[in-house]
A = this chain, B = another copy of it.
Amino acid sequence: MRTPLCDTFGIDYPIFAFTPSEHVAAAVSRAGGLGVLGCVRFNDPDELEQTLSWLDENTDGKPYGVDIVMPMKIPTEGKSVDLQALIPDEHITFVEQTLQKLGVPPLPEGEGREGVLGWLHSVARSHLDVALKHRPVLIANALGSPPVDVIEKCHEHGIKVAALAGAAKHALSHVANGVDIIVAQGYEAGGHTGEVASMVLQPDIVDAVGPDVPVLGAGGIGSGRQVAASLALGSQGVWTGSIWLGTEEYQNLQSNAGWTTAFTRATSSDTVRTRIYTGKPARLLKTKWTEAWAEEDAPSPLPMPLQNLLVADAHNRINASGDPDVISMPIGQIVGRMNDVRPVADVMADLVAEFEETVAKLESIRK
């Protein structure tokens, strides 16, 4: 399975793995794909610094990427204390009452932490500054094109820039800003996602940006058949995310029994696209928590970055409780195919082997 992206990045397979876990990212890169570390969880730049140093040393010299969350337009800024004042009491009360109704206990004294600040422009900039001291070959931005000066800085360091797009017109605008690679993020994807599904979105974007801009198909990809489908649609590679949550290496980051139970029993119908995680539409596992927000008396989610600050502590409480009925987890429709926990290398080997079988089968249909 070789496309020009393999030469661009020095990888064996054009399989890109977005993951918040450095253990998963390293294992993917070692297995011939490109592990891309999600930085949004690092509030403290020093922690990211240590993690990237670990990646440098644990990828056998293989390339890796990093993923930041940086809006093109600079949004409301400030410390979390200032922002907290912008959150209406109605919302705070709703969250507290919902957690009580769902039986989620408070955290033990002193175990709370501030919300995820990676959504803030200043924090995402600090992630970038840290990353540039290491050896990422790719910087991806989950919110579309980063500001032009960021793209230029990456290019000065010889780093390619990828940006997520949910519609052809967004992809064109990213390319105009200097983005090198488009991640065509279909409706079925976990996390932030648009309305157009992969089957339509991928060829839309491939045709819009033309042959000089490589496209990665994202959303709904967790098997070699889906990799083949994505490459059939014209993508030069795939961008995967959810499936790596079901790997042994990921358990280092998140290992409560409830989490594993929640995704292994879910079907592809058990997700929902909602603004309750960050303020922008993102696909989550459907649980009692997401359903509470869908009820008539629930308040409308707040804009980014306020919504995540509002629910950050709730997420901590929910995760600590380990109740699979309540868990708050960004995940794609591919969750229906995540039925066990396996080593990253096995998942990679299956993707490649099933891709080859699938193409051989298509070849026999063609003849």
Report the bound CA distance from A221 to B197 in whole Å.
11
Task: Say whether B204 contacts A268, CB under 8 Å.
Answer: yes
Closest beta carbon of chain B to A329's beta carbon, Å: 17
The answer to whether B186 and A203 touch across the interface, beta carbons within 8 angstroms, is no
The answer to whether B198 touches A199, judged by C-beta atoms less than 8 angstroms apart, is yes
A126, CB-defined interface residue at 8 Å: no
Known A168-B267, A168-B268, A203-B226; judge A220-B232 contact (CB<8 A).
no
Cα A232 to Cα B322 in complex, Å, equals: 38
- Asked if A267 and B188 sit within 8 Å, CB to CB, the answer is no
- Is A257 on the interface with B (CB-CB < 8 A)? no
Given contacts A187-B188, A229-B230, A229-B233, is CB(A201)–CB(B365) below 8 Å?
no
Q: A186-207 CB contact bits vs B (8 Å, 1 = yes)? A: 1110000011111111011000
Interface size on A, residues (CB 8 A): 49
A279 to chain B, nearest CB (A): 20
Interface status of A12 (Cβ within 8 A of chain B): no
With both beta carbons as reference points, the residue of chain B lying nearest to A203 in the complex is identified as B225
**A310 CB within 8 Å of chain B:** no
CB distance from A27 to the nearest CB of B (A): 24
The residue from B1, B199, B226 contacting A365, defined by CB atoms under 8 A apart = B1
Q: Mark A212-250, 1 if CB is under 8 A from B, else 0.
A: 000000011101011011111110000000000000000
Which of A149-157, A287-295, A352-360 faces chain B? A352-360
Residue A334 CB within 8 A of the other chain: yes
Docked Cα-Cα span, A272 to B187, in Å, equals: 13
Once the chains bind, are A199 and B196 in contact (CB under 8 Å)?
no
Instruction: Compute how far the CA of A332 lies from the CA of B200 in the bound complex, rounded to whole angstroms.
Output: 10
A187-B187, A363-B359, A366-B1 as given contacts; A197 in contact with B225, CB under 8 Å: no
Q: How near does chain B come to A110, taking the closest CB pair, in angstroms? A: 41
* A225 touching B221, Cβ below 8 Å: no
**With A186-B199, A200-B336, A269-B196 in contact, do A356 and B366 touch (Cβ < 8 Å)?**
yes
B186 & A365 in contact (Cβ 8 Å cutoff) = no
Given contacts A167-B268, A169-B267, A359-B363, whether A196 and B333 have CB atoms under 8 Å apart is yes
Whether A264 sits at the interface, judged by CB under 8 Å, is no
Task: Please provide the chain A residues from 248 to 306 with a CB less than 8 Å away from any CB of chain B in the complex.
Answer: 267-269
Query: Which of B220, B226, B232 is A225 in contact with, Cβ under 8 Å?
Result: B232
Contact A232 B362, beta carbon cutoff 8 Å: yes
| 6 A/B residue pairs, CB under 8 Å, sorted by A | A1-B366, A188-B199, A195-B269, A200-B333, A200-B336, A203-B223
B268 touches A200 (CB 8 A): yes
Closest to A356 in B: B366
Complex CA–CA separation, A187 to B194 (angstroms): 13
Contacts of A269 in B (CB 8 A): 167, 194-196
User: Considering the chains assembled together, what is the distance between the CA atoms of A253 and B358 in angstroms?
Assistant: 40
Chain B nearest CB from A80 CB (Å) reads: 33
In contact, B196 and A198 (Cβ under 8 angstroms): no
Within 8 A of B (CB), among A314-360: 332-334, 336-337, 355-356, 358-360
Q: How far is the CA of A293 from the CA of B195 in the complex (A)?
A: 19
